[in-house]
């Protein structure tokens, strides 16, 4: 699962919590950078360049401050955990796994309450669910994506099939898929990952009335292996069996987005990440909300990230100023790999009028369920058996038996 980040113009030179301004500190040191703020990110490449540009903007507006961007890359979690353990963490960091790290993070509620510059109502409220633990806020929403269905308009036109619309069902999907698939030409309706992240398939399960774990996080038996959960996963397995779907992105395979660009799969479920690549490849692409199960409400899934402050930071007031700036309209507009978390920015940029972007925000309105990892702090252990079951199911093994066995094994790790 890929994660992301993004508040109003907050480049005030004075600390909203009563501390001396960074400008005053800079003057006291003759304009040299006296305060160094460490910011850890998992980004690399072009995304990292954007983080560095945001850091430079903050420095420009806060003379005397140096933001040290620390790119942890694929080793983000390991390096972050080690820094917490050594009591030497970065002041500010990307964050997504709050159940694992919240005890090492500074609660932000007091900063929010004391800061008159903040308009919390300008954020999409559902995102706070992903950065709060036990009613306390540990991260300001920074960026997000929901999952939508991408479709290749050219392939739909060639098959004389109308473009899918919001409200379509999995039954509609299966009928369309049969018309779009031709295994003899290695053309399929849908591309599926052989080893999907279980996080990413929760929307499918929720949409059928299922769940991997109870709402209070205390039970998986009867949830992870419920008829609704089994049926949801079997829906995709059936498409692999009848060759209207194909596995993509496995070992020594092209990614699903690359195969979509090549016109060999007509539909591909993903977040915002591949959209720019599809445009650059000149794919005549459309997006639509994911299908619903007949008679049931479709449920969305959010992949989100936030910006947090370390409990052991020695400069929390300045760290809060950076968190505010990172979520400002100015910083949000610099980011391209995820979607804005502020309503005012979305309206200003007319993003909901963009037919390619609108489905992402429609799915956000339907993203009210709480992901499993936020419901039980031992989810990593619980998830091992579930992940193995899902992967085996994609290879054609019995989905019901696999989930029954996974639930039995997962029960051992509940706490």
| Rounded (10°) CA dihedral 82, 85, 89, 92 | 90
Structure tokens at 111: 């900063």
Whether residues 241 and 329 fall in one domain? no
- End-to-end Cα distance, the chain: 25
Q: How would residue 148 be classed by pLDDT, with cut points 50, 70 and 90?
A: very high
Q: Is position 384 within any domain?
A: yes
Give residue-wise pLDDT tens across range 251-310: 777 888 999 999 999 999 999 999 999 999 999 999 999 999 999 999 999 998 899 999
Long-range contacts of 229-234 (CB under 8 A, 24+ apart): 229/205, 229/403, 230/399, 230/400, 230/403, 232/201, 232/204, 232/205, 232/207, 232/208, 232/293, 233/201, 233/204, 233/205, 233/390, 233/393, 233/399, 233/403, 234/393, 234/399, 234/400
- DSSP structure class, residue 200: G
- DSSP structure class, residue 21: P
Whether residues 267 and 389 fall in one domain? yes
State residue 34's pLDDT score: 67
Whether residues 237 and 286 fall in one domain? yes
Give residue-wise pLDDT tens across range 67-111: 999 999 889 999 999 999 999 999 999 998 898 899 999 999 999
Whether residues 139 and 173 fall in one domain? no
Whether residues 113 and 214 fall in one domain? no
Q: Is position 4 within any domain?
A: no
Q: Is position 363 within any domain?
A: no
Whether residues 388 and 266 fall in one domain? yes
Q: Find the domain containing 391 and state its range.
A: 148-299+378-413
**Does 314 score more than 50 pLDDT?**
yes
- Residue 49 maps to which CATH number? 3.40.190.10
Long-range contacts of 404-412 (CB under 8 A, 24+ apart): 404/225, 406/224, 406/225, 407/220, 407/221, 407/222, 407/223, 407/224, 407/225, 408/221, 409/385, 410/220, 410/224, 410/382, 410/383, 410/385, 410/386, 411/219, 411/220, 411/221
State residue 12's pLDDT score: 35
Whether residues 249 and 394 fall in one domain? yes
Please, what's the largest Cα pairwise distance for the chain? 74
Whether residues 55 and 113 fall in one domain? yes
Q: Is pLDDT larger for residue 335 or for residue 312? A: 312
Query: Residue 226: which residues within 8 A CB-CB, separation 6 or more?
Result: 210, 211
Q: Is position 184 within any domain?
A: yes
Last residue of a domain, one of 312, 328, 358: 358
Left if phi > 0, otherwise alpha if psi is -120 to 50, otherwise beta: which for 124?
Answer: beta
Cα–Cα distance for residue pair 279/104, rounded to 1 Å: 41
pTM: 0.85
Q: Is position 227 within any domain?
A: yes
Number of domains in the chain: 2
Whether residues 156 and 280 fall in one domain? yes
- Whether the CB-CB separation of 224 and 213 falls below 8 Å is answered with yes
Measured CA distances, 393 to 110, 146, 238 (Å): 47, 25, 10
Structure tokens at 348: 């200003």
Q: Is position 310 within any domain?
A: yes
Q: Is position 218 within any domain?
A: yes
Whether residues 67 and 157 fall in one domain? no
Whether residues 140 and 156 fall in one domain? no
Q: Is position 9 within any domain?
A: no
Q: In this predicted structure, which of 11-25, 28-42, 303-317 has the lowest mean pLDDT?
A: 11-25
Whether residues 309 and 278 fall in one domain? no
Side-chain-side CA neighbours of 24 within 13 Å: the count stands at 9
**Does 199 score more than 60 pLDDT?**
yes
């Amino acid at each position: 699962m890929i994660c992301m980040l993004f508040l109003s113009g907050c480049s005030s030179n004075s600390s909203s919590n009563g501390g001396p301004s960074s400008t005053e500190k800079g003057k006291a040191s003759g304009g040299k950078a006296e305060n160094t703020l460490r910011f850890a990110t998992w980004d690399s490449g072009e995304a990292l360049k954007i983080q560095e540009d945001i850091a430079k903007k903050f420095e420009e507006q806060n003379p005397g401050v140096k933001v040290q961007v620390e790119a942890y890359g694929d080793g983000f979690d390991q390096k972050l955990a080690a820094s917490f353990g050594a009591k030497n963490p970065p002041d500010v960091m990307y964050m997504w796994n709050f159940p694992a790290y919240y005890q090492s993070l500074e609660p932000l509620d007091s900063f929010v309450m004391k800061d008159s510059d903040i308009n919390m109502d300008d954020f999409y409220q559902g995102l706070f669910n992903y950065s709060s633990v036990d009613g306390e806020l540990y991260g300001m929403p920074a960026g997000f994506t929901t999952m939508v269905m991408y479709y290749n308009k050219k392939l739909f036109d060639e098959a004389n099939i109308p473009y899918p619309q919001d409200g379509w069902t999995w039954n509609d999907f299966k009928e369309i898929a049969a018309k779009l698939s031709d295994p003899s030409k290695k053309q399929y309706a849908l591309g599926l990952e052989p080893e999907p992240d279980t996080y990413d398939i929760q929307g499918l399960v929720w949409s059928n009335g299922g769940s991997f774990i109870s709402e209070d996080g205390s039970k998986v038996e009867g949830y992870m292996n419920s008829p609704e959960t089994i049926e949801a996963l079997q829906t995709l397995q059936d498409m692999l069996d009848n060759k209207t779907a194909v596995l993509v992105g496995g070992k020594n395979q092209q990614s699903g987005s690359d195969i979509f660009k090549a016109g060999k799969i007509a539909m591909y479920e993903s977040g915002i990440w591949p959209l720019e690549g599809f445009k650059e490849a000149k794919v005549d692409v459309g997006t639509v909300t994911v299908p619903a199960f007949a008679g049931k409400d479709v449920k969305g899934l959010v992949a989100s990230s936030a910006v947090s402050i370390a409990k052991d930071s020695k400069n929390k007031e300045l760290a809060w100023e950076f968190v505010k700036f990172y979520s400002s309209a100015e910083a949000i507009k610099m980011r391209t790999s995820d979607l804005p978390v502020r309503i005012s920015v979305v309206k200003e940029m007319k993003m909901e009028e963009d037919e390619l972007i609108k489905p992402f925000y429609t799915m956000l309105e339907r993203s009210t369920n709480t992901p499993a990892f936020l419901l039980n702090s031992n989810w990593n252990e619980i998830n091992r058996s579930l992940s193995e079951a899902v992967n085996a199911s994609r290879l054609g093994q019995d989905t019901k038996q696999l989930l029954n066995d996974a639930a039995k094994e997962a029960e051992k790790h509940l706490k």
